[in-house]
Amino acid sequence: MQKTREYNFDGLVGPTHNYAGLSFGNVASSSNIKSASNPKEAALQGLAKMHALAQRGFAQALLPPQDRPNFKLLRQLGFTGTNAQMIEAAARTSPVLLACAYSASSMWTANAATVSPSADTADGRTHFTVANLNNKLHRSIEHSQTERALRAIFHDEKHFAVHQALPATPAFGDEGAANHTRLCAEHGAAGVELFVYGRSEFDASIVGPKKFPARQTLEASQAVARLHGLQDARTVFVQQNPHTIDQGVFHNDVIAVGSGNVLFYHQEAFVDEAASIEKCRIAMQQVGAELNPIRVATAQVVVADAVSSYLFNSQLLAKPNGKMALLVPQECSENAAVAAYLKDLVSSTGAIDELLSFELRQSMRNGGGPACLRLRVALTEQQANAMHQGVIFTEALYKRLVTWVESHYRDTLFPDDMADPALAIEVQTALNELSGILNLPNLYEY
Protein backbone atom coordinates (compact mmCIF):
# COMPACT_ATOMS: atom_id res chain seq x y z
CA MET A 1 0.00 0.00 0.00
CA GLN A 2 1.37 3.40 -0.96
CA LYS A 3 1.69 6.19 1.55
CA THR A 4 -1.42 8.30 1.04
CA ARG A 5 -2.49 11.64 2.47
CA GLU A 6 -5.83 13.34 2.35
CA TYR A 7 -5.61 16.84 0.86
CA ASN A 8 -8.23 19.41 1.60
CA PHE A 9 -8.78 21.57 -1.48
CA ASP A 10 -10.47 24.64 -0.07
CA GLY A 11 -12.28 27.06 -2.30
CA LEU A 12 -10.58 30.43 -2.39
CA VAL A 13 -13.49 32.83 -1.93
CA GLY A 14 -13.95 35.03 -4.98
CA PRO A 15 -14.21 38.83 -5.01
CA THR A 16 -17.97 38.82 -5.67
CA HIS A 17 -19.10 36.93 -2.57
CA ASN A 18 -22.58 38.31 -1.87
CA TYR A 19 -25.97 37.55 -0.36
CA ALA A 20 -28.54 37.24 -3.12
CA GLY A 21 -30.83 34.65 -1.54
CA LEU A 22 -30.52 32.34 -4.51
CA SER A 23 -30.72 28.97 -2.77
CA PHE A 24 -34.32 28.04 -1.95
CA GLY A 25 -34.16 25.28 0.67
CA ASN A 26 -30.97 26.70 2.21
CA VAL A 27 -32.22 28.58 5.26
CA ALA A 28 -29.16 30.84 5.70
CA SER A 29 -29.16 31.90 2.05
CA SER A 30 -32.85 32.83 2.19
CA SER A 31 -32.63 34.66 5.49
CA ASN A 32 -29.67 36.88 4.59
CA ILE A 33 -31.03 37.97 1.24
CA LYS A 34 -29.92 41.44 0.14
CA SER A 35 -27.77 42.11 3.19
CA ALA A 36 -24.26 43.51 2.73
CA SER A 37 -21.44 41.02 2.38
CA ASN A 38 -17.75 41.55 2.97
CA PRO A 39 -15.84 39.65 0.26
CA LYS A 40 -12.47 40.65 1.70
CA GLU A 41 -13.32 39.28 5.12
CA ALA A 42 -14.84 36.14 3.56
CA ALA A 43 -11.65 35.39 1.64
CA LEU A 44 -9.44 36.10 4.64
CA GLN A 45 -11.57 33.87 6.88
CA GLY A 46 -11.17 31.04 4.38
CA LEU A 47 -7.44 31.61 4.06
CA ALA A 48 -7.07 31.63 7.86
CA LYS A 49 -8.65 28.18 8.03
CA MET A 50 -6.36 26.84 5.30
CA HIS A 51 -3.36 28.40 6.99
CA ALA A 52 -4.17 26.94 10.41
CA LEU A 53 -4.57 23.42 9.02
CA ALA A 54 -1.42 23.65 6.92
CA GLN A 55 0.49 24.81 9.99
CA ARG A 56 -0.81 21.82 11.91
CA GLY A 57 0.69 19.59 9.24
CA PHE A 58 -2.50 18.65 7.38
CA ALA A 59 -2.20 18.48 3.60
CA GLN A 60 -3.80 21.62 2.23
CA ALA A 61 -4.40 22.96 -1.26
CA LEU A 62 -6.93 25.22 -2.91
CA LEU A 63 -9.23 25.58 -5.88
CA PRO A 64 -9.39 29.02 -7.53
CA PRO A 65 -12.53 31.15 -7.74
CA GLN A 66 -14.38 31.37 -11.04
CA ASP A 67 -14.61 34.11 -13.58
CA ARG A 68 -17.58 36.38 -12.70
CA PRO A 69 -19.86 37.74 -13.91
CA ASN A 70 -20.43 34.84 -16.24
CA PHE A 71 -20.99 36.78 -19.46
CA LYS A 72 -21.63 33.52 -21.30
CA LEU A 73 -24.76 33.04 -19.20
CA LEU A 74 -25.92 36.62 -19.80
CA ARG A 75 -25.43 36.24 -23.54
CA GLN A 76 -27.17 32.85 -23.51
CA LEU A 77 -30.14 34.51 -21.83
CA GLY A 78 -30.47 37.15 -24.53
CA PHE A 79 -28.43 40.09 -23.25
CA THR A 80 -26.36 41.72 -25.96
CA GLY A 81 -23.74 44.37 -26.57
CA THR A 82 -20.61 45.11 -24.61
CA ASN A 83 -19.99 43.68 -21.18
CA ALA A 84 -21.03 46.96 -19.58
CA GLN A 85 -24.24 47.05 -21.66
CA MET A 86 -25.17 43.52 -20.67
CA ILE A 87 -24.60 44.32 -17.00
CA GLU A 88 -26.65 47.49 -17.25
CA ALA A 89 -29.57 45.75 -19.00
CA ALA A 90 -29.56 42.77 -16.65
CA ALA A 91 -29.44 45.05 -13.59
CA ARG A 92 -32.42 47.00 -14.91
CA THR A 93 -34.61 44.18 -16.19
CA SER A 94 -33.65 41.16 -14.10
CA PRO A 95 -31.30 41.78 -11.16
CA VAL A 96 -31.72 38.18 -10.02
CA LEU A 97 -30.17 36.92 -13.26
CA LEU A 98 -27.28 39.31 -12.82
CA ALA A 99 -26.84 37.99 -9.27
CA CYS A 100 -26.72 34.44 -10.63
CA ALA A 101 -24.08 35.45 -13.17
CA TYR A 102 -22.11 37.09 -10.36
CA SER A 103 -22.39 34.38 -7.71
CA ALA A 104 -19.18 33.35 -5.95
CA SER A 105 -20.76 30.00 -5.06
CA SER A 106 -17.86 27.96 -6.47
CA MET A 107 -16.17 28.71 -3.12
CA TRP A 108 -18.05 25.67 -1.71
CA THR A 109 -15.77 23.10 -3.27
CA ALA A 110 -17.47 20.18 -1.53
CA ASN A 111 -19.92 20.66 -4.39
CA ALA A 112 -17.30 20.82 -7.13
CA ALA A 113 -17.02 17.10 -7.76
CA THR A 114 -17.24 13.61 -6.31
CA VAL A 115 -13.82 12.07 -5.81
CA SER A 116 -12.85 8.39 -5.60
CA PRO A 117 -9.25 7.70 -4.63
CA SER A 118 -7.22 5.21 -6.63
CA ALA A 119 -7.51 2.51 -3.95
CA ASP A 120 -11.24 2.23 -4.73
CA THR A 121 -11.38 2.42 -8.52
CA ALA A 122 -11.19 -0.32 -11.15
CA ASP A 123 -8.35 1.27 -13.11
CA GLY A 124 -6.30 2.41 -10.12
CA ARG A 125 -6.61 6.09 -11.00
CA THR A 126 -8.17 8.83 -8.89
CA HIS A 127 -11.54 9.66 -10.44
CA PHE A 128 -13.39 12.97 -10.33
CA THR A 129 -16.91 13.54 -11.61
CA VAL A 130 -17.66 17.23 -11.86
CA ALA A 131 -21.02 18.03 -10.25
CA ASN A 132 -23.67 19.55 -12.52
CA LEU A 133 -25.37 21.41 -9.63
CA ASN A 134 -28.38 21.76 -11.85
CA ASN A 135 -30.88 22.42 -9.06
CA LYS A 136 -29.94 26.11 -8.92
CA LEU A 137 -29.22 28.38 -11.86
CA HIS A 138 -26.33 30.20 -10.16
CA ARG A 139 -24.65 26.89 -9.37
CA SER A 140 -25.42 25.18 -12.68
CA ILE A 141 -22.94 27.53 -14.37
CA GLU A 142 -20.02 26.29 -12.27
CA HIS A 143 -19.29 22.94 -13.88
CA SER A 144 -17.51 24.02 -17.06
CA GLN A 145 -14.96 26.13 -15.18
CA THR A 146 -14.67 23.48 -12.46
CA GLU A 147 -13.84 20.91 -15.11
CA ARG A 148 -11.28 23.25 -16.61
CA ALA A 149 -9.62 23.83 -13.23
CA LEU A 150 -9.60 20.14 -12.28
CA ARG A 151 -8.13 19.19 -15.66
CA ALA A 152 -5.43 21.82 -15.23
CA ILE A 153 -4.54 20.62 -11.73
CA PHE A 154 -4.97 16.88 -12.25
CA HIS A 155 -3.67 16.85 -15.82
CA ASP A 156 -1.68 13.62 -15.68
CA GLU A 157 -3.97 10.96 -17.16
CA LYS A 158 -1.78 8.20 -15.88
CA HIS A 159 -2.95 9.06 -12.38
CA PHE A 160 -6.19 10.97 -12.77
CA ALA A 161 -9.50 10.73 -14.63
CA VAL A 162 -11.74 13.80 -14.71
CA HIS A 163 -15.28 13.10 -15.92
CA GLN A 164 -17.50 15.86 -17.20
CA ALA A 165 -20.71 16.65 -15.36
CA LEU A 166 -23.71 14.31 -15.70
CA PRO A 167 -26.57 15.36 -18.04
CA ALA A 168 -28.07 18.61 -16.74
CA THR A 169 -31.57 17.34 -16.20
CA PRO A 170 -33.53 16.73 -12.98
CA ALA A 171 -33.02 12.94 -13.22
CA PHE A 172 -29.29 13.46 -12.69
CA GLY A 173 -29.15 16.25 -10.12
CA ASP A 174 -25.66 15.92 -8.67
CA GLU A 175 -24.10 18.03 -5.92
CA GLY A 176 -20.76 16.27 -5.64
CA ALA A 177 -18.94 15.35 -2.46
CA ALA A 178 -21.51 17.01 -0.20
CA ASN A 179 -23.54 13.81 -0.60
CA HIS A 180 -20.64 11.39 -0.65
CA THR A 181 -18.52 10.02 2.18
CA ARG A 182 -15.52 7.75 2.01
CA LEU A 183 -14.98 5.43 4.96
CA CYS A 184 -11.84 3.35 5.34
CA ALA A 185 -9.26 1.94 7.74
CA GLU A 186 -6.61 4.22 6.25
CA HIS A 187 -6.57 6.54 3.25
CA GLY A 188 -4.33 4.33 1.10
CA ALA A 189 -6.41 1.17 1.64
CA ALA A 190 -9.57 0.20 -0.23
CA GLY A 191 -12.53 1.96 1.31
CA VAL A 192 -16.30 2.16 1.32
CA GLU A 193 -18.02 4.87 -0.66
CA LEU A 194 -21.28 6.02 0.83
CA PHE A 195 -23.64 7.93 -1.46
CA VAL A 196 -26.61 9.73 0.07
CA TYR A 197 -29.42 10.74 -2.26
CA GLY A 198 -32.50 12.84 -1.65
CA ARG A 199 -34.88 11.45 -4.22
CA SER A 200 -35.22 9.14 -7.19
CA GLU A 201 -36.41 10.08 -10.67
CA PHE A 202 -37.54 6.61 -11.73
CA ASP A 203 -38.36 4.68 -8.55
CA ALA A 204 -41.78 5.84 -7.39
CA SER A 205 -41.49 3.92 -4.12
CA ILE A 206 -38.84 6.37 -2.90
CA VAL A 207 -40.60 9.31 -1.30
CA GLY A 208 -38.77 12.64 -1.44
CA PRO A 209 -39.24 15.89 0.52
CA LYS A 210 -42.40 17.99 0.16
CA LYS A 211 -41.37 21.55 0.86
CA PHE A 212 -37.76 21.98 -0.26
CA PRO A 213 -35.99 20.40 -3.24
CA ALA A 214 -33.87 17.26 -3.01
CA ARG A 215 -30.82 18.18 -5.02
CA GLN A 216 -29.19 14.75 -5.34
CA THR A 217 -30.82 11.84 -7.12
CA LEU A 218 -30.18 8.13 -6.68
CA GLU A 219 -29.64 7.87 -10.42
CA ALA A 220 -26.88 10.49 -10.34
CA SER A 221 -25.11 8.75 -7.44
CA GLN A 222 -25.29 5.42 -9.26
CA ALA A 223 -23.88 6.96 -12.44
CA VAL A 224 -20.93 8.42 -10.51
CA ALA A 225 -20.21 5.03 -8.93
CA ARG A 226 -20.25 3.44 -12.41
CA LEU A 227 -18.01 6.11 -13.92
CA HIS A 228 -15.47 5.63 -11.14
CA GLY A 229 -15.47 1.84 -11.46
CA LEU A 230 -16.39 1.20 -7.84
CA GLN A 231 -17.08 -2.29 -6.54
CA ASP A 232 -20.68 -3.04 -5.58
CA ALA A 233 -19.82 -4.67 -2.27
CA ARG A 234 -17.96 -1.56 -1.13
CA THR A 235 -20.49 0.97 -2.38
CA VAL A 236 -23.48 1.97 -0.29
CA PHE A 237 -26.50 4.01 -1.34
CA VAL A 238 -28.79 5.35 1.35
CA GLN A 239 -31.59 7.87 1.27
CA GLN A 240 -31.42 11.13 3.15
CA ASN A 241 -34.37 11.66 5.44
CA PRO A 242 -36.82 13.84 3.44
CA HIS A 243 -38.16 15.43 6.65
CA THR A 244 -34.73 16.86 7.38
CA ILE A 245 -34.42 18.22 3.83
CA ASP A 246 -37.69 20.01 4.55
CA GLN A 247 -36.05 21.49 7.66
CA GLY A 248 -33.16 22.97 5.70
CA VAL A 249 -30.74 20.04 5.37
CA PHE A 250 -30.19 20.67 1.67
CA HIS A 251 -27.07 18.46 1.49
CA ASN A 252 -26.12 15.39 3.49
CA ASP A 253 -23.05 17.22 4.77
CA VAL A 254 -25.34 19.40 6.88
CA ILE A 255 -26.35 16.34 8.95
CA ALA A 256 -23.45 13.84 8.74
CA VAL A 257 -19.69 13.73 8.20
CA GLY A 258 -17.38 10.74 7.95
CA SER A 259 -13.66 10.14 7.78
CA GLY A 260 -11.52 7.08 8.37
CA ASN A 261 -13.78 4.59 10.11
CA VAL A 262 -15.81 7.28 11.87
CA LEU A 263 -19.29 8.26 10.77
CA PHE A 264 -20.52 11.20 12.81
CA TYR A 265 -24.21 11.60 12.13
CA HIS A 266 -27.55 12.70 13.47
CA GLN A 267 -30.20 10.17 14.40
CA GLU A 268 -32.55 11.68 11.81
CA ALA A 269 -30.02 11.91 8.97
CA PHE A 270 -31.10 8.85 6.99
CA VAL A 271 -34.28 7.05 6.07
CA ASP A 272 -34.24 3.91 8.26
CA GLU A 273 -31.26 4.69 10.45
CA ALA A 274 -30.61 1.12 11.57
CA ALA A 275 -30.62 -0.36 8.06
CA SER A 276 -28.48 2.47 6.70
CA ILE A 277 -25.81 2.06 9.38
CA GLU A 278 -25.91 -1.70 8.99
CA LYS A 279 -25.20 -1.36 5.25
CA CYS A 280 -22.14 0.73 6.06
CA ARG A 281 -20.99 -1.73 8.71
CA ILE A 282 -21.24 -4.70 6.33
CA ALA A 283 -19.44 -2.85 3.54
CA MET A 284 -16.69 -1.88 5.95
CA GLN A 285 -16.23 -5.56 6.86
CA GLN A 286 -15.52 -6.17 3.16
CA VAL A 287 -12.42 -4.00 3.47
CA GLY A 288 -11.44 -5.47 6.82
CA ALA A 289 -12.41 -2.36 8.75
CA GLU A 290 -14.75 -1.72 11.61
CA LEU A 291 -17.24 1.11 11.37
CA ASN A 292 -17.21 3.52 14.29
CA PRO A 293 -20.57 5.31 14.23
CA ILE A 294 -20.92 8.38 16.45
CA ARG A 295 -24.60 9.02 16.71
CA VAL A 296 -26.10 12.28 17.89
CA ALA A 297 -29.61 11.76 19.23
CA THR A 298 -32.46 14.21 18.78
CA ALA A 299 -32.65 14.35 22.57
CA GLN A 300 -29.13 15.83 22.53
CA VAL A 301 -29.35 18.14 19.51
CA VAL A 302 -32.51 18.80 17.52
CA VAL A 303 -32.32 19.09 13.71
CA ALA A 304 -33.02 22.84 13.81
CA ASP A 305 -29.95 23.35 16.03
CA ALA A 306 -27.84 21.18 13.75
CA VAL A 307 -28.94 23.39 10.84
CA SER A 308 -28.33 26.72 12.58
CA SER A 309 -25.00 25.72 14.16
CA TYR A 310 -23.73 23.52 11.30
CA LEU A 311 -22.42 21.01 13.85
CA PHE A 312 -22.15 18.29 11.20
CA ASN A 313 -20.71 20.53 8.50
CA SER A 314 -17.45 20.02 10.25
CA GLN A 315 -14.09 18.59 9.25
CA LEU A 316 -12.92 15.37 10.87
CA LEU A 317 -9.14 15.47 10.82
CA ALA A 318 -7.05 12.40 11.62
CA LYS A 319 -4.13 13.26 13.88
CA PRO A 320 -0.80 11.52 14.38
CA ASN A 321 -1.92 10.35 17.86
CA GLY A 322 -4.60 8.18 16.20
CA LYS A 323 -7.41 10.44 17.39
CA MET A 324 -9.42 12.99 15.44
CA ALA A 325 -9.95 16.70 15.71
CA LEU A 326 -13.35 18.12 14.84
CA LEU A 327 -13.21 21.50 13.12
CA VAL A 328 -16.48 23.32 13.66
CA PRO A 329 -17.78 26.80 12.86
CA GLN A 330 -17.91 29.27 15.73
CA GLU A 331 -21.71 29.15 15.61
CA CYS A 332 -21.46 25.80 17.46
CA SER A 333 -20.22 27.52 20.60
CA GLU A 334 -23.10 29.99 20.41
CA ASN A 335 -25.76 27.28 20.57
CA ALA A 336 -26.20 25.99 24.14
CA ALA A 337 -27.28 22.44 23.24
CA VAL A 338 -24.57 22.02 20.64
CA ALA A 339 -21.86 23.50 22.86
CA ALA A 340 -22.85 21.16 25.70
CA TYR A 341 -22.86 18.19 23.37
CA LEU A 342 -19.40 19.03 22.02
CA LYS A 343 -17.97 19.48 25.50
CA ASP A 344 -19.08 15.95 26.41
CA LEU A 345 -17.90 14.56 23.08
CA VAL A 346 -14.28 15.65 23.41
CA SER A 347 -14.04 14.70 27.07
CA SER A 348 -15.31 11.17 26.38
CA THR A 349 -12.88 8.41 25.43
CA GLY A 350 -14.15 8.25 21.84
CA ALA A 351 -12.37 8.89 18.56
CA ILE A 352 -12.72 12.68 18.68
CA ASP A 353 -10.53 14.28 21.33
CA GLU A 354 -10.08 17.85 20.13
CA LEU A 355 -12.24 20.72 18.98
CA LEU A 356 -11.09 23.43 16.57
CA SER A 357 -13.42 26.37 16.17
CA PHE A 358 -13.27 28.81 13.27
CA GLU A 359 -14.95 32.09 12.48
CA LEU A 360 -16.38 31.59 8.98
CA ARG A 361 -19.41 33.81 9.34
CA GLN A 362 -19.25 35.30 5.86
CA SER A 363 -19.63 31.87 4.28
CA MET A 364 -21.99 30.59 6.98
CA ARG A 365 -24.45 33.37 6.18
CA ASN A 366 -24.87 31.74 2.78
CA GLY A 367 -25.19 28.25 4.25
CA GLY A 368 -21.58 27.17 3.76
CA GLY A 369 -19.63 25.81 6.72
CA PRO A 370 -16.12 24.39 7.10
CA ALA A 371 -16.95 21.16 5.26
CA CYS A 372 -18.66 22.96 2.37
CA LEU A 373 -15.50 24.95 1.83
CA ARG A 374 -13.29 21.94 1.11
CA LEU A 375 -13.03 19.05 -1.32
CA ARG A 376 -11.14 16.06 -0.01
CA VAL A 377 -8.75 14.27 -2.33
CA ALA A 378 -6.70 11.36 -0.99
CA LEU A 379 -3.45 11.18 -2.96
CA THR A 380 -0.50 8.84 -2.95
CA GLU A 381 2.92 10.47 -2.81
CA GLN A 382 3.35 9.85 -6.54
CA GLN A 383 -0.02 11.42 -7.32
CA ALA A 384 0.68 14.40 -5.10
CA ASN A 385 3.89 14.96 -7.05
CA ALA A 386 2.05 14.55 -10.36
CA MET A 387 -0.58 17.20 -9.70
CA HIS A 388 -0.06 20.89 -10.42
CA GLN A 389 2.09 22.21 -7.56
CA GLY A 390 0.98 25.84 -7.73
CA VAL A 391 -2.23 25.20 -5.76
CA ILE A 392 -0.54 23.52 -2.81
CA PHE A 393 -0.81 25.72 0.24
CA THR A 394 2.50 26.98 1.55
CA GLU A 395 3.44 29.79 3.89
CA ALA A 396 4.65 31.80 0.91
CA LEU A 397 1.42 31.26 -1.02
CA TYR A 398 -0.60 32.21 2.04
CA LYS A 399 1.23 35.53 2.40
CA ARG A 400 0.94 36.23 -1.30
CA LEU A 401 -2.79 35.55 -1.32
CA VAL A 402 -3.46 37.70 1.74
CA THR A 403 -1.75 40.61 0.00
CA TRP A 404 -3.65 39.85 -3.20
CA VAL A 405 -7.01 39.80 -1.40
CA GLU A 406 -6.22 42.96 0.52
CA SER A 407 -5.37 44.86 -2.62
CA HIS A 408 -8.25 43.69 -4.85
CA TYR A 409 -11.31 42.85 -2.73
CA ARG A 410 -14.03 45.18 -1.58
CA ASP A 411 -15.04 45.14 2.07
CA THR A 412 -18.71 45.84 1.38
CA LEU A 413 -20.85 44.47 -1.39
CA PHE A 414 -24.60 44.96 -1.69
CA PRO A 415 -26.52 43.12 -4.42
CA ASP A 416 -27.16 46.52 -6.04
CA ASP A 417 -23.41 47.07 -6.41
CA MET A 418 -23.37 44.37 -9.07
CA ALA A 419 -24.97 46.90 -11.43
CA ASP A 420 -21.68 48.80 -11.47
CA PRO A 421 -19.60 47.68 -14.50
CA ALA A 422 -16.45 48.74 -12.63
CA LEU A 423 -16.88 45.69 -10.41
CA ALA A 424 -16.53 43.37 -13.41
CA ILE A 425 -13.28 45.05 -14.40
CA GLU A 426 -11.95 44.85 -10.84
CA VAL A 427 -12.66 41.14 -10.76
CA GLN A 428 -11.00 40.50 -14.08
CA THR A 429 -7.87 42.36 -12.97
CA ALA A 430 -7.74 40.39 -9.73
CA LEU A 431 -8.24 37.01 -11.40
CA ASN A 432 -5.63 37.69 -14.06
CA GLU A 433 -3.13 38.30 -11.31
CA LEU A 434 -4.29 35.19 -9.47
CA SER A 435 -3.70 32.91 -12.43
CA GLY A 436 -0.11 34.14 -12.38
CA ILE A 437 0.22 33.56 -8.63
CA LEU A 438 -1.07 29.99 -8.97
CA ASN A 439 0.97 29.43 -12.12
CA LEU A 440 -2.15 28.40 -14.05
CA PRO A 441 -1.89 30.63 -17.12
CA ASN A 442 -4.92 29.24 -18.96
CA LEU A 443 -7.28 29.16 -16.04
CA TYR A 444 -9.56 31.92 -17.25
CA GLU A 445 -10.82 32.41 -20.79
CA TYR A 446 -10.20 36.12 -21.20
Ligand X SMILES: NCCC[C@H](NC(=O)CCC(=O)O)C(=O)O
Q: Which residue ranges make up the annotated binding site for substrate? A: 20-29, 111, 138-139, 215, 253, 366
Residue 194 Cβ, how far from ligand X at the closest point, in Å?
Answer: 17
Give Cα separations from 276 to 61, 219, 269, 280 (angstroms): 33, 18, 10, 7
Task: Considering only residues 27 through 46, tell me which ones interact with ligand X, judged by CB under 6 A.
Answer: 29
Asked whether the beta carbons of 291 and 261 are under 8 A apart, the reply is yes
Which has the closest alpha carbon to 9: 318, 376, 378, 396? Answer: 376
Residue 133 Cβ, how far from ligand X at the closest point, in Å?
Answer: 7
Residue 110, interface with ligand X (CB under 6 A)? yes
Piece of 39-47, 103-111, 405-413, 426-434 that binds ligand X (CB under 6 A): 103-111
Selected catalytic residue, list 100, 184, 280, 372: 372
Q: Which residues contact 298 (CB under 8 A, 6 or more apart)?
A: 266, 267, 268
Residue 372, interface with ligand X (CB under 6 A)? yes
Q: Is 193 a catalytic site residue?
A: no
Selected catalytic residue, list 51, 143, 228, 251: 251
DSSP symbol at 169: S
Residue 117, interface with ligand X (CB under 6 A)? no
Q: How far apart are CA 69 and CA 211, in angstroms?
A: 31
Strands 160-163 and 374-380: unpaired
Q: How far apart are CA 13 and CA 10, in angstroms?
A: 9
Among 19, 58, 128, 160, binds ligand X (CB under 6 A): 19
Residue 103, interface with ligand X (CB under 6 A)? yes
Residue 66, interface with ligand X (CB under 6 A)? no
Q: How far apart are CA 160 and CA 379, in angstroms?
A: 10
Selected catalytic residue, list 6, 41, 175, 219: 175
Residue 112 Cβ, how far from ligand X at the closest point, in Å?
Answer: 10
Q: Is 100 a catalytic site residue?
A: no
Among 26, 116, 179, 244, binds ligand X (CB under 6 A): 26
> Sign of the C-alpha dihedral, residues 88, 138, 249, 311?
negative
Residue 350 Cβ, how far from ligand X at the closest point, in Å?
Answer: 26
Q: Where are the beta strands (DSSP E) in 131-231?
A: 160-163, 180-183, 192-197
Residue 329, interface with ligand X (CB under 6 A)? no
DSSP symbol at 217: B
Piece of 38-46, 140-148, 153-161, 364-372 that binds ligand X (CB under 6 A): 364-372
Piece of 20-28, 190-198, 240-248, 352-360 that binds ligand X (CB under 6 A): 20-28
Choice between 251 and 281, CB closer to ligand X? 251
Q: Is 372 a catalytic site residue?
A: yes
Among 368, 384, 401, 404, binds ligand X (CB under 6 A): 368
Choice between 23 and 314, CB closer to ligand X? 23
Piece of 108-116, 233-241, 256-264, 297-305 that binds ligand X (CB under 6 A): 108-116
Give Cα separations from 60 to 9, 11, 89, 112, 379 (angstroms): 6, 11, 41, 16, 12
- Give the ranges where 10-142 is alpha helix by DSSP (H): 27-31, 39-55, 71-76, 83-93, 95-102, 137-140
Task: Considering only residues 140 through 169, tell me which ones interact with ligand X, judged by CB under 6 A.
Answer: none
Choice between 19 and 79, CB closer to ligand X? 19
Which has the closest alpha carbon to 378: 214, 203, 209, 180? Answer: 180
Task: Considering only residues 237 through 276, tell me which ones interact with ligand X, judged by CB under 6 A.
Answer: 251
Residue 115, interface with ligand X (CB under 6 A)? no
> Three-class SS of residue 248?
coil
**DSSP states along 281-331:** HHHHHHTT---EEEEEPTTTS-HHHHHHHTTTS-EEEE-TTS-EEEEEEGG
Residue 181 Cβ, how far from ligand X at the closest point, in Å?
Answer: 14
Residue 440 Cβ, how far from ligand X at the closest point, in Å?
Answer: 24
Q: Burial code of 329-356, b = ≥16 C-beta within 10 A, e = fewer?
A: bebbeebebbbebbeebeeeeebbbebb
Catalogue the active-site residues.
Answer: 175, 251, 372
Return residues touching ligand X (CB under 6 A).
Answer: 19-23, 26, 29, 103, 105, 108, 110-111, 139, 178, 251, 366-368, 372
